[in-house]
Amino acid sequence: MRTEQTTRISCEDEKPADEGATHVSDISNIDHTDTLQVAPEDGSGVHERMSWKLFLPLVTMSFLWVGSQIPLYLFGSVIPLIYSDIGGYDRYIWLVIGYLIPNAALCPFVGALSDMFGRRSVAICGQTLLILGPVVTATAKEMNIAIAGEVFSGLGAGLNELIALAGTAEMVPYQKRGTYIGGIVFTILPFCPSVLWAQMIAKASHWRYVGIVVGLWNFIGLVLVIFFYKGPAGHTSTRNKMEIVREVDYIGGFLSTVGVLCFMMGMQWGAQQYPWDSAHVLAPFILGIVGIIAFFVWEVKFAPYPMVPAKLFSKDKRTMTAILLVTFWSGGNYFVLLLLWPTQCYNV
């Protein structure tokens, strides 16, 4: 490719002046995408066609994506068995919240971490957490330890579910990104009947073996990352690490995380452990609402590098609003099927 481009340039330099002027005027219309379609020898970069150098990294991204979801899918499907075994019925919902809040809190910083350390290093860190978390949950003797395991899993999932999508997009031409990313997301389909699989595992052995399945899956994903995923090495050539660090919205991340966490603490304590009008419930509930409001004010008025840029809504508000509404309602349905239905079936 480079030889052909050099030959083409040298030939064009020999054109008459008037033709050269025409050529220069049309430079802005040249499609430069062909220079981005070359797959380097190490297997990283953009691939035009399916090959082993593309297929194996895509399999790796699939393992990262699925491995980021199944800790919640499978452990969430045997929650009644967990609290029946180790106790903690009054706080079992934190098995789910303990996974989701770290997941959401870490997502806005994945881009900066990738720029600083490279996607491969971040993916290895995420897979390590996704191996550690299920092991901690599966070996827990009390609910608080099991929740801590889900926190580790949530942190790893926050890293690797985004690495899986971004890594896939970087491997294929721009026009094919939607198809390939959709294919990676659809690899979760075998785990959609997660309640069935988790209950079958628990019936055949014990609910703790769910952790072995999740940990083994993510261990395979870790091996695939080490051997088959190169990824960009971090964009420190154009920006140094201090510039990247300064552009992270720490205040926005703190306000959103603390706001949601306090709000959920108030909601859950009021439902299970303390009266609704007690200070244990009202204090975190009010702090949570204040934190969430402060987050929106900070993002709109003060954040130099906001987590939620206004330009996301400036071009097509209707489309963005529709996406958020669909996500909200589908999320409600998701948690009903994942959490409430198995618990109801078990108890009834």
Of 202 and 348, which is predicted with more confidence?
202
Distance CA 228, CA 225 (A): 6
Spatial distance between the Cα atoms of 231 and 238, rounded to a whole number of angstroms? 17
The CA-atom distances, in angstroms, between 294 and each of 133, 285, 291 are 32, 14, 5
Check pLDDT > 70 for residue 218. Answer: yes
In this prediction, residue 89 carries a pLDDT of 85
- The residue among 210, 234, 258 that closes a domain is 234
pLDDT at 214: 96
SS3 of the chain: the string is CHHHHHHHHHHHHCCCHHHHHHHHHCHHHCCHHHHHCCCCCCCCCCCCCCCHHHHHHHHHHHHHHHHHHHHHHHHHCCHHHHHHHHCCHHHCCHHHHHHHHHHHHHHHHHHHHHHHHCHHHHHHHHHHHHHHHHHHHHCCCCHHHHHHHHHHHHHHHHHHHHHHHHHHHHHCCHHHHHHHHHHHHHCCHHHCCHHHHHHHHHHHCCCCHHHHHHHHHHHHHHHHHHHHCCCCCCCCCCCCHHHHHHCCCHHHHHHHHHHHHHHHHHHHHHHHCCCCCCHHHHHHHHHHHHHHHHHHHHHHHHCCCCCCCCHHHHCCHHHHHHHHHHHHHHHHHHHHHHHHHHHHHHHC
**Residues 155 and 196 both lie in one domain:** yes
State which of 234, 264, 299 marks the end of a domain. Answer: 234
Residue 23 has pLDDT above 60, yes or no: no
CATH of the domain at 228: 1.20.1250.20
Q: Please check whether residues 206 and 308 belong to one and the same domain.
A: no
- The verdict on 132 and 271 lying in the same domain is no
Of the chain, the percentage scoring pLDDT greater than 70 comes to: 84
Identify whether 242 is part of a domain: no
Percent of the chain beyond pLDDT 90? Answer: 42
Q: Which pLDDT belongs to residue 271?
A: 66
Domain match, 265 and 290 both: yes
Mean pLDDT, the chain, integer: 82
Flag whether pLDDT at 9 surpasses 70: no
Residue 309 maps to a domain? yes
pLDDT at 69: 93
Cβ–Cβ < 8 Å for 235, 115? yes
223 and 296 assigned to the same domain: no
Of the three residues 176, 199, 234, the one that is the final residue of a domain is 234
Residues 298 and 190 grouped into a single domain = no
Residue 5 lies in a domain: no
Chain position carrying tokens 């030959």: 7
What is the pTM assigned to this prediction?
0.78
CA–CA distance, 325 with 200 (Å, rounded to integer) = 35
* Separation between Cα atoms, residue 199 and residue 156, nearest integer Å: 24
How confident is the model over 30-52, as a mean pLDDT?
53
Query: Which pLDDT does position 8 carry in this prediction?
Result: 42
Do 81 and 188 sit in the same domain of this protein? yes
Our count of domains for the chain comes to 2
pLDDT band (50, 70, 90) for residue 21? very low
User: Angle at which helices 94-106 and 250-272 pack, to 10 degrees?
Assistant: 170
Residues 167 and 192 in one domain: yes
Residues 137 and 268 in one domain: no
For residue 54, give every residue at least 6 positions away whose Cβ sits within 8 Å of its Cβ, in sequence order, or none: 39, 47, 171, 172
Same domain, 226 and 266: no
Q: Is residue 97 assigned to a domain?
A: yes
Residue 244 placed within a domain: no
CA angle (126, 255, 155) in 5-degree steps:
10
pLDDT band at 183; cut points 50, 70, 90: very high
Q: What confidence score (pLDDT) does residue 220 get?
A: 97
Whether 3 is covered by a domain: the verdict is: no
262 and 312 inside one domain: yes
Q: If you average pLDDT over each of 135-139, 317-321, 326-330, which comes out highest?
A: 135-139
The answer on 176 and 112 residing in a single domain is: yes
pLDDT score for 130: 97
292 within domain boundaries: yes
Looking at residue 10, what is its pLDDT?
42
Which domain covers residue 302, as residue numbers?
A: 249-319
The pLDDT tens digits for 53-111 are 889 999 999 999 999 999 999 998 899 899 999 998 888 888 988 998 899 888 888 88
Place of tokens 């978390």: 133
